[in-house]
Structure 1
Amino acid sequence: MDKDKLPVMLFAIISLLMPAALSATDPLLNFCSADVRNSQFESNLERLLESLSSNTSIAGGFYNDTVGDGLDIVYGQALCRWDVNSTVCQNCVDEARQEIFKSCNKTDAMIWYELCQVRYSYQMFFQLMVYTGKYLDKDSQEKNVSNPHHFNDVLTYLMINLSGAAAFSPSKRMFATGKIKFSGKDTIYGLQQCTRDISPSDCHSCLNSALTDLLGCCSSQQGGTIVSRNCNVRFELFPFFNDTSNSLLIYPQSKADRWKKWKVVILVSASIILLAAIVFCTVHLWRKKGSEDVKDEEKSEQVLLQDLPSPTGVTITEEGMFIISEELAFMDLATIKIATNDFSDLNKLGQGGFGTVYKGLLPDGKEVAVKRLSKKSWQGLEEFKTEVVTIAKLQHKNLVRLLACSFEGEEKLLLYEFMPNKSLDVFIFDLERRAELNWKIYYNIIEGIARGLLYLHEDSRLKIIHRDLKPSNVLLDHEMVAKISDFGMARIFCDSQNTANTKRVVGTLSLLLTAPIFIFRTC
């Protein structure tokens, strides 16, 4: 005799000989809700429960009934496990009837036993599937399995097969049991059941929801049960049902399958290593080429500066040095140091990528902004040349005006008109200062920026793309007139040029304005 069949046969014999003992256990779970029942409702309920107790076993283990009318009508339903005989079913429903009537003084209640369940309600619930799964905390579920990952896979395979059989096999009466080998000595036993008043698709949906909860709570434990209004699922590592019609399922995993998994792991690992090597080599070559491109671009921009017609008062020698005439003011370093209190931090207005800006007070009482280019910036001299060349001849009310320049030794300085309201970012990123701006001022600022850009792109003799337009480079004078500043990143176009390529990203990311920006036709 098959050793696996012996416990099942013993269970069947005991259930036939001792039906009362099987049903005389404590309820697994009960549920009470809704309003307190009145005397008429209670009288109808008592008649209904007696009807369920008398008729469920006769009807094949599932029975619906209704008693009363109007506000005191009661709907009831009883379900027995399909693998128990009629005597066990009747005893279980009768015990459930007594317990639910005694323990719940409500108009809506349900009670679950291991072999049956009973439900009543003041609302009609027949043929309606509403999943409300509840997890039963039992001693068996506190014991974990040795290999939870494999156990979860095998359990899932078993329960998915059972849910399909229970829902879509008419001969199963929405009830299915099965077993599957988990290891050499362990077998998983599973059971699934639905109330027979719902459709097969609703049954399948309910069982899938219950399976999700079951795997969530108990997939690493030695047993688990989920009960709900329309379906129940359970598994154990011992035979707990009286159903010999099921056969042992085989989990579909062979040596070939395991080898396929290893091949996938090996191929994926090799692909990752190869991809990492390709990325490393590409990045290395890109950086090497990028450094060469930057040098080439710097050289090309220097040649472009030398080819440009020099503004009046500024001459650029072949060596890149400046000769300043009286037409562009030149100021000695000593005067600027006195004006800025020797570049005191108290006079600092701001700091950018290529230098720091200080407030200065000239001997004649005029306020200026002094841009002191960084000594450590290897691009400093080129940026200085660019700014002087581009700004010296630019005259527009929406561009910051260059007043003078100075260079002595490593010091490279530019003097601009002073903007008492600082820059646009001071207002838009400060809640208190932002409140000072109204829509008219916003409009005037936007219009001023646009007019300044239009002049740079279309109306000036030198066609300019700013390339670093952002709130901190839009200054505001005492009347809140917007003036574009900081041309250290500017790209200059010749008269016949309407396109240009750059091989490196320049400028600063900003929340409102980014560079490059507003690419219009420039010639």
Structure 2
Amino acid sequence: MMMVDSFTKVFLVAVCLSTFSFGSLEDLTRWYYFCSNATTLTGNIVYAANVDQLFSYLSTKATEHDGFFNTTAGQEPNMVYGLFLCRGDARPEICRDCINLAAADVVKLCPNQSWAIIWYNQCMLRYSNRSIFSSMAERPNVSLSYRVDAMEPYRFNRLVATVMKDIATRAPNATSRTKKFSTKEATFNAFQTLYSLAQCTPDISSEDCYRCLQDAIADLQFHLGGKQSGFAMYPSCTAQYQTSPFYSLNQTGLAKPPVSPQHPLLLPPPPPPGKRGISSQTVIKIVVSTVGFLVLSCFLCCVLGWKATKKLTARKTRNDELKAMALQSLRFDLSIIEAATKNFAEVNKIGAGGFGSVYKNLKNKDS
């Protein structure tokens, strides 16, 4: 076996580019791609030729199948399975140009690979050496953002979650039978509107579409919470939001969102789960009651302290008076003492100590 020669690849790219409406190329932006780097098919000229044939066939069908088409090329064991999905609002010529550009790019980005997937802002192209039809796939996937922080991130995240949940419910049951696609706008404030989009490949069931979108939205909220834009790209679904328009606002045959409020959402965010909000009136009542209790407590403490001090002062004064009276009762005139001791007669002296002599009192009990 031998590799596809360079002339064949150049010819394929030239064929794809020759069908472009170059005026639309400026509207096409490559977002991301994955290649089967671990499984290359170097030397398998049959499989490589089938990939080229697949891309050529998909390109011719890009304007005929309402934005989605899947097919195969070649025979087993070298059969190639491929599909494309254009964004639900993309015009047929935009879809064709996007698929042609994706096919030309993937030849250069993923040469000789057994599978690859590439996303643009207007389309997705995917091929594999195994069947990829009618089955929901979530790997590989990627989440991207412009990394611009939103004002009031908590309230913005709430709005994103509400809107994305709504379109994830409506997209699987879109009125168009060939498109699982839905968009919605919601006003965030006087200067910003949230634009959101959800889409699945039409070949999977409504249940699988809903499950895929739920996982994609969960990735957006986990990795990109608080950002003004987010893009979650899975093989079977896409979820996007942004604060500037990125899709056509005049669409027919799609799941229509309800009319969004025309005035800004000015309600404050609710408290965290498990906690109840407290109104301003309740806060004022609590503050006034607390301050009143503190003032009354301080007043009572001052009154009780003053009374205790006054009582203590009165008690001390009374004790001083009693001591003075006791001292006064122990004092005698000298004439009384001389009479009692017969002028300090030695016969009346009964002893002596450090404070002086001690005499007995000879006065009778009635004196």
TM-score, normalised to structure 1, is: 0.44
Identify unmatched segments of 5+ residues in structure 2: 1-20, 287-367
Residue 48 of structure 1 aligns to a residue whose secondary structure is helix
| 1:133 and 1:226 in contact (8 A); partners too | no
Residue 64 of structure 1 aligns to a residue whose secondary structure is strand
The match for 2:248 among 242, 248, 252 is: 242
Distance 1:77 1:212 in 2: 26
1:82 aligns with 2:85: no
Q: CA deviation at 1:184?
A: 2.1
Matched AA of 1:131: E
Residue 234 of structure 1 aligns to a residue whose secondary structure is strand
Could you say if the C-alpha distance between residues 256 and 18 of structure 1 is closer, same or farther in structure 2, counting changes exceeding 3 Å? Answer: closer
Residue 107 of structure 1 aligns to a residue whose secondary structure is coil
Aligned to 1:186: 192
| 1:188 and 1:235 in contact (8 A); partners too | yes
1:28 aligns with 2:31: yes
Q: After alignment, is 153-162 or 99-108 more displaced?
A: 99-108
Identify unmatched segments of 5+ residues in structure 1: 1-15, 274-523
The match for 2:61 among 55, 65, 73 is: 55
Could you say if the C-alpha distance between residues 211 and 28 of structure 1 is closer, same or farther in structure 2, counting changes exceeding 3 Å? Answer: same
Structure with greater Cα Rg? 2
Q: CA deviation at 1:57?
A: 2.0
Matched AA of 1:240: F
Matched AA of 1:62: F
Residue 166 of structure 1 aligns to a residue whose secondary structure is helix
1:126 aligns with 2:126: no
Q: CA deviation at 1:265?
A: 3.0
**Aligned residue runs from structure 1 range 167-206, under 5 A:** 167-171=172-176, 173-206=179-212
1:73 aligns with 2:84: no
1:146 aligns with 2:151: yes
**Aligned residue runs from structure 1 range 388-427, under 5 A:** none
Matched AA of 1:233: A
Q: CA deviation at 1:215?
A: 0.7
Could you say if the C-alpha distance between residues 128 and 252 of structure 1 is closer, same or farther in structure 2, counting changes exceeding 3 Å? Answer: farther
Residue 199 of structure 2 aligns to a residue whose secondary structure is strand
Aligned to 1:454: none
Could you say if the C-alpha distance between residues 187 and 133 of structure 1 is closer, same or farther in structure 2, counting changes exceeding 3 Å? Answer: farther
Distance 2:270 2:158 in 1: 14
Residue 224 of structure 1 aligns to a residue whose secondary structure is strand
| 2:194 and 2:242 in contact (8 A); partners too | yes
Distance 1:256 1:225 in 2: 27
| 1:41 and 1:72 in contact (8 A); partners too | yes
Distance 2:221 2:136 in 1: 21
CA deviation map 1:294-342 (0-9, x unaligned): xxxxxxxxxxxxxxxxxxxxxxxxxxxxxxxxxxxxxxxxxxxxxxxxx
Distance 1:184 1:238 in 2: 14
1:107 aligns with 2:114: yes
Distance 1:217 1:182 in 2: 21
Q: CA deviation at 1:145?
A: 1.3
Q: CA deviation at 1:166?
A: 0.7
CA deviation map 1:149-169 (0-9, x unaligned): 100111111111111111112
Distance 1:130 1:212 in 2: 16
Q: CA deviation at 1:209?
A: 0.3
Q: CA deviation at 1:194?
A: 0.6
| 1:155 and 1:219 in contact (8 A); partners too | no
| 1:133 and 1:213 in contact (8 A); partners too | no
CA deviation map 1:95-126 (0-9, x unaligned): 11111122212111111111011000000010
Cα RMSD after superposing both structures: 3.1
Distance 1:257 1:131 in 2: 33
| 2:144 and 2:232 in contact (8 A); partners too | no
| 2:154 and 2:269 in contact (8 A); partners too | no
Distance 1:203 1:137 in 2: 21
Q: CA deviation at 1:254?
A: 8.5
Matched AA of 1:120: Y
Distance 2:163 2:72 in 1: 37
CA deviation map 1:183-211 (0-9, x unaligned): 12211111111111100110010000000
**Aligned residue runs from structure 1 range 19-418, under 5 A:** 19-23=24-28, 25=29, 27-33=30-36, 35-37=39-41, 38-104=44-110, 105-132=112-139, 134-138=141-145, 140-141=146-147, 143-171=148-176, 173-245=179-251, 246=256, 248-250=259-261, 264-266=276-278
Distance 2:217 2:268 in 1: 29
Aligned to 1:318: none
Distance 1:257 1:213 in 2: 22
Distance 2:144 2:81 in 1: 29
TM-score, normalised to structure 2, is: 0.62
- Return structure 1 stretches of 4+ with deviation > 4 angstroms: 245-248, 251-259
Q: Which has the higher contact order (CA 8 A, sep 6+)?
A: 2
Q: CA deviation at 1:218?
A: 1.6
Residue 47 of structure 2 aligns to a residue whose secondary structure is helix
| 2:232 and 2:239 in contact (8 A); partners too | yes
Q: Percent identity?
A: 29
Distance 2:228 2:107 in 1: 34
Distance 2:238 2:209 in 1: 10
Residue 115 of structure 2 aligns to a residue whose secondary structure is strand
CA deviation map 1:388-447 (0-9, x unaligned): xxxxxxxxxxxxxxxxxxxxxxxxxxxxxxxxxxxxxxxxxxxxxxxxxxxxxxxxxxxx
Residue 88 of structure 2 aligns to a residue whose secondary structure is coil
Aligned to 2:3: none
Distance 1:45 1:17 in 2: 25
CA deviation map 1:213-272 (0-9, x unaligned): 00112220111111010001111110011132455424997979979x9x93349x99xx
